[in-house]
Structure 1
Amino acid sequence: MVSDSTRTSADERLPRSRVVGYSLGDVANNVSFMMTSLFLMAYMTDIAGVPAAIAGIIYGVTKIWAGVTDLIAGNTVGRRETKWGRLRPWLIWVSPFLAISLVLLFSTPAGLGPTATIAWVLLFDAAFQLCYSFVNIPYGSLSAAMTENGTDRSRLSGARSIASSMTGVVLSLVLSPQFEDTTADDIRLRFTTATIILAVIALVLYWLCFRSTREVVPAGAGELTLKTTLQMVRRNKPLLVLCLGALFLLGASFTMNAVMLYYARDVLGSATSFTWLYLCQTIGTIAVASLIPAITERVGKRVGYVALAAVGVVGFVLIALTPTGDLLVALLAFLVFGAGFGGTNALMFSMQADTVDYGEWRTGTRAEGGSYSILSFVRKVGQGVGGFLGGAVIGAFGYTAGAQVQSPEAIQGIKIAAGWVPAALCVIAAVALWFYPLTNDEHREIVRELNDRRARHAFGEATAAGGAVSVADGEFVVAGPVITINEQYGAGASYVAARVAERLGVPYAGTRFSSEQLEQAEATQPAAASAAVTGSSAAAFGSGGMLGFLRSFSRTTTEGDASVSADALSDSRLIQQNVADVIDMVRDSGGVVVGRDATVILSEMQGALHVRLEAPLRTRVSRAAEAYGVSTEVAAQRQAREDRMRVLMSDRLMHWDPTDASRYDLVIDTSEISLDDAVDMIVAASEAKRAS
């Protein structure tokens, strides 16, 4: 149990030491994950002596097994409460076994025969994947258990993303040169020694992560059964299409990943080129992140996914056509590939969140965790298929382990495995996603209907609880006047709303977010607004959830990130809580509510008046500067920030546009009339609407 005294409030910030300590866990994770994903294939063929085709089979089987172990771990961890929490102890309990299995995997004895070598690698790779799941799944869920503060979750996510990127680059610098000459007498000892050092470093980092972090958020009550989840999945066509696309997209990426080191060494002429290729791929992925919101808004997620998959195809084709030894062309190719794959991967998780809404709309079951688990499993299967194809192709074209120079046929096989095969798989992924049935408009309608259902459910509870809520002609009616107000920053909503409430004798509720809170959040995550669509939407409301919506602004798509489903489940509960809170504000005698998406939540309430306040930019900045006692420069900065972020938040949370005039009964330009006249106009309009 987590005592109230250890809980962090929405406004209480995590110490920097905990954020850094949490990120160290991802460094440890990526030491092992990237070693197996990027270097195991080359180790098996060039050092352990496993034939390329067999190495591909091992790679494929163990990645699919990893999908199974993820499901097992996801259903196991977090059930047992200890004095250290539900999740953190797994980092200490399992990491020693993870380190041992990693060292043994990369320490194949030289005297083993071919069959024994294959059995050794297969056994310890399977053991490694099992241990990795039981460390990574609790670690991925830990951020949601460390804090309910959305800004802090963004800090944890950002720190993890930076740690992951840095680890990949450093690991490539350390290990890729080891494959320059795999015929050296001491190559096995050198690789074992390097793995032991890395494993010890990982253990220390896991221990530091354990010591630095704390679980303060209690476990949620109730879990969906596997049967219920599978019933939802069967009727969720968008999720099924997304999974099909993920299978081929991850297959494409991991076919290339499996042979990337061969490509750097045998096609480009130096194993150290691997680091530069990996760096360019990472730069492409980061660069495209800033374009995802604009792509989604202008063409939709489905078309955006297909278009970015086409960019990935171009990258793979360039990889295949790069002349032998031409590093500059290869760097360009990997930059393009990184942009294409990074963009589609980001959109995949955004679309997965949409399929959760569709599943709830279609079946009445909301299964964030189940949806993510199914997609994660399919992604692991795709990784396995990709690794298998990579090994099979280079084996079929006569790759010779340990050869100083590969034959022209073998070089061509590596190019096919790194370029043409992934390009074909990426095309299939794009074709599959072309049939993704949810457009932006359709998803908005689904979310609008879900919000109506939640509001009606909350209205029903309010009626049952004995509030002053009644039903007339299928609509809910409150005894007192109900007014919702949205504004452009500086249009005067706080002044107007307070006086309207005073005139009508009803409660007044201001915006959930202050200017200072939004400013603080953007200072913590300066790239927040540009990355808003890269992950699951998070609500900004509820106990401990203040600024929770900002969580989605820095969502990363680190492989196996179980916090995606944990955050999505938390988001769903917070959204429902916000609906209930808004209704509770007006249930007894009516009220005036500013922001909080009350315009949408109370759209079905009979007699409710919905108002929008606007004014020219210069007027609003001048008025805000005078009202809040700040300079015009500060007011202008707040205006730009708030007008952008509040629209983004409403879109991500409730999928509506607060600037859409058709949503309101009354739109007032407060530069044309005084704020007191606006108060008179709103009071009169409310009385007239209630009388009609």
Structure 2
Amino acid sequence: MSTATSVAPTVAPRRLGTLQFLGYAAGDAANNLAFSMTSFFLLIYYTDVVGISAAAAGTLFLVIRVWDGFADIFAGRVVDKTMTRWGKFRPFFLFGGLPVLLLSVATFTVPGLADSTGPKLLLAYLTYGLLGLAYSLVNIPYGSLAAAMTQVPAERAKLASFRMIGTAVTTIMLAFVVSPQIQQYRGDPDGFQRSLLITTLVFAVVGLGLYLFLFATARESVQRDVANVSARQSFTTLKVNKPLIMLCVASLAFLTALFSLQTVQVYYARDVLGNANLLTALTVLSVGAIFVVAPLVPRLVRAIGKKRAFLLFGVIGLFAGVGISLSPPSTPWVSLMFFGIMGVSTAGVNTLMWALEADTVEYGEWKTGVRTEGITYALFSFTRKLGQAVGGAVAAYAIALGGYVGGAATQSPEAINAIRYASGFVPVVFILIGILLFARYPLTERVFATMVAETQARRTAP
């Protein structure tokens, strides 16, 4: 009788509604008005408008994006020790969204001071560094939110799919809006600067509305036993979370590949294929693949599991990367085809990364009894920032070694080949490393189900 009256009845988890999925997609769309804008266009802005050399810009990317990674760890601790009447994560969207968007405007408003490299480089470091800090204080709560909204694996996969759809919609829109500006204002840095200022100001207004929609629709429903997590509890959970560490290391390799390609994609369209407007087609094919992949990921997860699906998409990326570098510039449709195949790979890998990261939160709670969504996602995001730093720097150094000259009407054959290799062969090397590292990932669907059941039983036990 004592046991029977002490154990709480099992309550079926509340299912997420359409508004929650759409709101979550809107949040990543808002994030990418700043994040994807810098990933795709900041290097060409620095080299062709501000007048910073490709090598100096590569060093800037490496330094600032590593700084961003440590900003993520700081943001993770802030999140873990926060609890308000709006929940743990939602207040950050309400109060942090506008500063991120305004700092994005500032990052693309660095004056191109003639014969004065020092001041403009310092201003570039300052604006991009502040953007990274503000972005961490919004993105870490956003990424952590998924693990607090549901524990149902299929719903987590669906949230990850909607997140990627939000990314895809924003990235494709950026290509349609910014690519014509690159072509129109080639050789006219002042005109390109004015156009980007108007564009980023419009993005700030749109992004604020998206953040408010996320705030209004998001709900934190997963039970937690410790509301305000201490620093010791946070880092103890990280120390014992082997699946998280393995996921981070493998993801670092995949993301280095992705950001290397993203950084030079605009150069590939303009200088290899000969027309910057083709960036729109490349982006639609590579990023638009998410609209095909996203509905398939939950089904694929049910059929073969997250781990096997992740490895499968990695192998597809190997094939696509080789094709991108070897495609003859005289036949752009071949390059477009391989960019589309690479899009399938990156869409699948990125979608599964988010679902896998949420699962590692459960592993940490299973091992320690404490849910630490903030610091867990922060470490994963730190990995993403390192991938962005290394990938962006490798791409910038590659085209610098090839002799790329910012603002030149035409580039040398060596520079064009460097762009081709940074777009394909460099990603192939890092994708292969990621596949080899992830092959030993231990957290399968069966292990996950056992963990969640044991955690629930421990919570309801007398």
Query: Smaller-chain TM-score range?
Result: 0.7 to 0.9
Q: Tell me the residue number matched to 1:323.
A: 328
Q: How far apart, in 2, do the equivalents of 1:446 and 1:138 lie?
A: 23
Q: How far apart, in 2, do the equivalents of 1:120 and 1:91 lie?
A: 27
Q: How far apart, in 1, do the equivalents of 2:194 and 2:393 lie?
A: 27
Instruction: Quote the offset at 1:433 in angstroms.
Output: 2.3
Instruction: Quote the offset at 1:285 in angstroms.
Output: 3.9
Q: How far apart, in 1, do the equivalents of 2:101 and 2:264 lie?
A: 25
Q: Tell me the residue number matched to 2:193.
A: 188
Q: Tell me the residue number matched to 1:138.
A: 141
Change (3 A) 1:152 1:407: closer
Q: Tell me the residue number matched to 1:170.
A: 173
What do residues 86-140 of structure 1 show as CA deviations (whole Å, max 9, x unaligned)? 5444334333322332112111113261111111111100101111122233344
> Contact 2:68–2:136 (CA<8 Å) still a contact in 1?
yes
> Contact 2:237–2:364 (CA<8 Å) still a contact in 1?
yes
Unaligned stretches of 5+ residues in structure 1: 1-8, 455-571, 585-692
The one-letter code matched in structure 1 to 2:127 is F
Instruction: Quote the offset at 1:329 in angstroms.
Output: 0.9
Change (3 A) 1:11 1:227: closer
Instruction: Quote the offset at 1:284 in angstroms.
Output: 3.4
What do residues 33-80 of structure 1 show as CA deviations (whole Å, max 9, x unaligned)? 111111111111111111111111212222222222222222224755
Specify the SS of the correspondent of 1:76. Answer: helix
Instruction: Quote the offset at 1:404 in angstroms.
Output: 1.9
Instruction: Quote the offset at 1:391 in angstroms.
Output: 0.5
Change (3 A) 1:417 1:349: same
**Most deviating of 152-161 and 176-185:** 152-161
Q: Tell me the residue number matched to 1:332.
A: 337
- Of Structure 1 and Structure 2, the greater helix share is in 2
What do residues 263-321 of structure 1 show as CA deviations (whole Å, max 9, x unaligned)? 11111121121121122123434434566567667776555544432221111111111
Where do residues 382-531 of structure 1 align in structure 2 (5 Å cutoff)?
A: 382-434=387-439, 436=440, 438=442, 440=444, 444=446, 448=450, 450=451, 454=454
Instruction: Quote the offset at 1:244 in angstroms.
Output: 1.9
The one-letter code matched in structure 2 to 1:44 is Y
> Contact 2:325–2:423 (CA<8 Å) still a contact in 1?
yes
Q: Tell me the residue number matched to 1:28.
A: 30
Change (3 A) 1:320 1:217: same
Q: Tell me the residue number matched to 2:61.
A: 59
Q: How far apart, in 2, do the equivalents of 1:246 and 1:130 lie?
A: 22
Q: How far apart, in 1, do the equivalents of 2:417 and 2:257 lie?
A: 18
Which of these residues, 312, 333, 350, is aligned with residue 345 of structure 1?
Answer: 350
Does structure 1 residue 377 correspond to structure 2 residue 382?
A: yes
> Contact 2:157–2:352 (CA<8 Å) still a contact in 1?
no
Instruction: Quote the offset at 1:252 in angstroms.
Output: 0.6
Unaligned stretches of 5+ residues in structure 2: 1-11
Where do residues 113-132 of structure 1 align in structure 2 (5 Å cutoff)?
A: 113-132=116-135
Q: How far apart, in 2, do the equivalents of 1:142 and 1:293 lie?
A: 19
Where do residues 563-574 of structure 1 align in structure 2 (5 Å cutoff)?
A: none
Change (3 A) 1:236 1:149: closer
Number of aligned residue pairs: give it: 446
Change (3 A) 1:186 1:428: same
> Contact 1:244–1:432 (CA<8 Å) still a contact in 2?
yes
> Contact 2:325–2:425 (CA<8 Å) still a contact in 1?
yes
> Contact 1:172–1:275 (CA<8 Å) still a contact in 2?
yes
Instruction: Quote the offset at 1:198 in angstroms.
Output: 2.1
Instruction: Quote the offset at 1:261 in angstroms.
Output: 0.7
Change (3 A) 1:367 1:325: farther
Q: How far apart, in 1, do the equivalents of 2:159 and 2:446 lie?
A: 30
Q: How far apart, in 1, do the equivalents of 2:89 and 2:72 lie?
A: 15
Q: How far apart, in 2, do the equivalents of 1:238 and 1:153 lie?
A: 17
Which of these residues, 246, 254, 278, is aligned with residue 283 of structure 2?
Answer: 278
What do residues 225-246 of structure 1 show as CA deviations (whole Å, max 9, x unaligned)? 4445544544554443332211
What do residues 468-523 of structure 1 show as CA deviations (whole Å, max 9, x unaligned)? xxxxxxxxxxxxxxxxxxxxxxxxxxxxxxxxxxxxxxxxxxxxxxxxxxxxxxxx
Change (3 A) 1:101 1:300: closer
Which of these residues, 75, 78, 81, is aligned with residue 76 of structure 1?
Answer: 78
Change (3 A) 1:315 1:20: closer
The one-letter code matched in structure 1 to 2:400 is G
Q: How far apart, in 2, do the equivalents of 1:300 and 1:154 lie?
A: 11
Q: How far apart, in 2, do the equivalents of 1:84 and 1:290 lie?
A: 31
Q: Tell me the residue number matched to 1:111.
A: 113
Q: How far apart, in 2, do the equivalents of 1:14 and 1:355 lie?
A: 24
> Contact 2:359–2:448 (CA<8 Å) still a contact in 1?
no
Q: Tell me the residue number matched to 1:41.
A: 43
Instruction: Quote the offset at 1:214 in angstroms.
Output: 7.0
The one-letter code matched in structure 2 to 1:190 is S
What do residues 330-388 of structure 1 show as CA deviations (whole Å, max 9, x unaligned)? 12111221222233334444554665666677x55565624433222222211111011
Change (3 A) 1:306 1:92: closer
Specify the SS of the correspondent of 1:444. Answer: helix
Which of these residues, 93, 96, 104, is aligned with residue 95 of structure 2?
Answer: 93
> Contact 1:394–1:410 (CA<8 Å) still a contact in 2?
yes
Q: How far apart, in 2, do the equivalents of 1:307 and 1:149 lie?
A: 23
> Contact 2:399–2:422 (CA<8 Å) still a contact in 1?
yes
Identity %: 33
**Most deviating of 153-162 and 322-331:** 153-162
Q: How far apart, in 2, do the equivalents of 1:267 and 1:221 lie?
A: 56
What do residues 605-663 of structure 1 show as CA deviations (whole Å, max 9, x unaligned)? xxxxxxxxxxxxxxxxxxxxxxxxxxxxxxxxxxxxxxxxxxxxxxxxxxxxxxxxxxx
**Most deviating of 295-304 and 71-80:** 295-304
Specify the SS of the correspondent of 1:404. Answer: coil
> Contact 2:259–2:388 (CA<8 Å) still a contact in 1?
yes
> Contact 1:104–1:124 (CA<8 Å) still a contact in 2?
yes
> Contact 1:284–1:339 (CA<8 Å) still a contact in 2?
yes
Change (3 A) 1:365 1:53: farther
Change (3 A) 1:444 1:13: closer
Bigger radius of gyration among the two = 1
Change (3 A) 1:43 1:219: farther
Q: How far apart, in 1, do the equivalents of 2:141 and 2:358 lie?
A: 21
The one-letter code matched in structure 2 to 1:67 is G
Q: How far apart, in 1, do the equivalents of 2:316 and 2:308 lie?
A: 12
Q: How much is the aligned-residue C-alpha RMSD, in angstroms?
A: 3.8
> Contact 1:301–1:439 (CA<8 Å) still a contact in 2?
no
Q: How far apart, in 2, do the equivalents of 1:10 and 1:295 lie?
A: 23
The one-letter code matched in structure 1 to 2:126 is L
- Of Structure 1 and Structure 2, the greater strand share is in 1
> Contact 2:164–2:351 (CA<8 Å) still a contact in 1?
no
Q: How far apart, in 2, do the equivalents of 1:389 and 1:188 lie?
A: 26
Where do residues 226-265 of structure 1 align in structure 2 (5 Å cutoff)?
A: 226-265=231-270
> Contact 1:252–1:421 (CA<8 Å) still a contact in 2?
yes
